[in-house]
Structure 1
Amino acid sequence: MNRFKKVEDKKWLVLGVVSIILVSVFVLIRMFSTNKIIVEETTTITTNSTLRENIEKNVMSTDEMYVDIKGAVINPGIYQVTGNMRVLNVVELAGGFLSDADDKQVNLSERVSDQMVIYIPKEGEALDDIPMLQSNGKDKQDSSKSDLINLNTATIDELKTLNGIGEKKAESIIKYREEKGLFKKIEDLKNVDGIGEKTFESLKSLIIV
């Protein structure tokens, strides 16, 4: 009887151990499955976020700008630019100045705009005597345009020549241009702090973009 009882006890002990092992394996499997789902969801969220950022970058990059640089540079031609670039940056894209270039006649700090034509004269060459095309495709010496202030390229001093535009408003225009990008139409001037409808009406015949 004692021997039989010991066998029964061992039997139940083995069953108990096996049950514990099975339960442990089941719990581990559930934990692994749960963690896998969490990882997959996190990966999906990250992938979707990256995809959305790439799409937004591609949409923003479609607004391309090009300028045409001519004259005394190593590689004159048409170059793709960004709105925060200056004339000097375009000269660098074109390989730099030729040895006989007269860069003193050119405003190298001028911010570039789409379809802009940049001409670098040679020494002894008068820039005013060279016909150039503006971004609107008309002769730069067109008298109907020469006296207008370009909101996208004007300096603070040039802006201050406009009626009703003092130091503070001129600085606001420059700040708007740097933070928001180039003016697309003259009506955008009304978006600048301190410039309302009345001021715009008095200026609209004096400005261009």
Structure 2
Amino acid sequence: MDIIEKLKEKHYIVIGGIFGLIVFIMLLYNVFKPKPDLVMETTQNSTTYSTVSSSEQMSDEMYVDIKGAVVKPGIYKVNATMRVLTVVEMAGGFLPEADDRQVNLSERVSDQMVIYIPKEGEELAEVTPSKNASSKDETTNTLVNLNTATIEELKTLNGVGEKKAENILRYREEKGSFKSIEELKEVDGIGEKTFEQLKSSITV
């Protein structure tokens, strides 16, 4: 019986030692292990920031061409926050003969923009395509369309009264739409002289 009791006692000691070792290892692991959630979050934030930064840089990447009285004319990479003055500085600044009064240095740059710095005494033509296009559209809208105009609209034309307006409408009904404004001369009562007065005011 003593032998059995001693064996049981040794067995418990071994089991207790193993359990104690496991607890000790777990404690060490908890103390020294990396914090996965924190590392993952930091890595994810870093990756996200890097991706957004790269995307924004690509969207803001533009090129402008600066010419004229600057030290180093050429094409420069810019972004949407820059002004014309910044591009001038990138090009080495103005030449002594530059006339910067004709240039809007505070204008924000845009992709494929051409910046021209004139010299003293050089006239810089101001051409605004969008404004010209708008003016052209406005001019077109003021013309009287022979194919769609009402009798009242036709009567607004110089030299066209009630009778001539009715003749134009009758011709349009019988012959179909006008193919050109010159065809107006075939309408009764519209001669060469009247047509010359009207041609700048009509369209088809």
Within a 5 Å distance, the mapping from 1:165-180 to structure 2 comes to none
* 1:145 corresponds to 2:131: yes
CA distance in 1 between counterparts of 2:131 and 2:25 reads 78
Change (3 A) 1:50 1:142: closer
CA distance in 2 between counterparts of 1:32 and 1:59 reads 44
List runs of 5+ in structure 1 lacking aligned partners: 1-11, 129-139, 149-209
How many Å apart are 1:38 and its aligned residue? Answer: 4.7
* 1:34 corresponds to 2:30: yes
How many Å apart are 1:145 and its aligned residue? Answer: 3.4
**Partner of 2:63: helix, strand, or coil?**
strand
How many Å apart are 1:105 and its aligned residue? Answer: 1.1
1:83 corresponding residue in structure 2: 80
How many Å apart are 1:39 and its aligned residue? Answer: 2.0
**Partner of 2:106: helix, strand, or coil?**
coil
CA distance in 2 between counterparts of 1:35 and 1:60 reads 41
List runs of 5+ in structure 2 lacking aligned partners: 1-9, 135-204
Q: How many residues align?
A: 124
1:48 corresponding residue in structure 2: 44
Aligned-residue CA RMSD (Å): 3.2
CA distance in 1 between counterparts of 2:129 and 2:48 reads 48
Change (3 A) 1:91 1:142: closer
Per-residue CA deviation, residues 114-144 of structure 1 (Å, 9 max, x unaligned), is 111110111111112xxxxxxxxxxx73666
Change (3 A) 1:44 1:35: farther
**Partner of 1:78: helix, strand, or coil?**
strand
Instruction: In structure 2, give the amino acid aligned to 1:80.
Output: K
CA distance in 2 between counterparts of 1:56 and 1:50 reads 10
CA distance in 1 between counterparts of 2:131 and 2:66 reads 21
Aligned equivalent of 1:121, options 112, 118, 121: 118
Instruction: In structure 1, give the amino acid aligned to 2:103.
Output: V
Per-residue CA deviation, residues 88-116 of structure 1 (Å, 9 max, x unaligned), is 00101111111111111111111111111
Name the % identity: 49
CA distance in 2 between counterparts of 1:29 and 1:95 reads 67
Instruction: In structure 2, give the amino acid aligned to 1:74.
Output: V
TM-score (norm 2): 0.51
How many Å apart are 1:21 and its aligned residue? Answer: 11
Change (3 A) 1:65 1:104: same
Within a 5 Å distance, the mapping from 1:1-209 to structure 2 comes to 23=20, 26-63=22-59, 64-128=61-125, 141=127, 145-146=131-132
Per-residue CA deviation, residues 40-94 of structure 1 (Å, 9 max, x unaligned), is 3322221122112111211222212111110011111111111111110010111
Instruction: In structure 2, give the amino acid aligned to 1:90.
Output: V
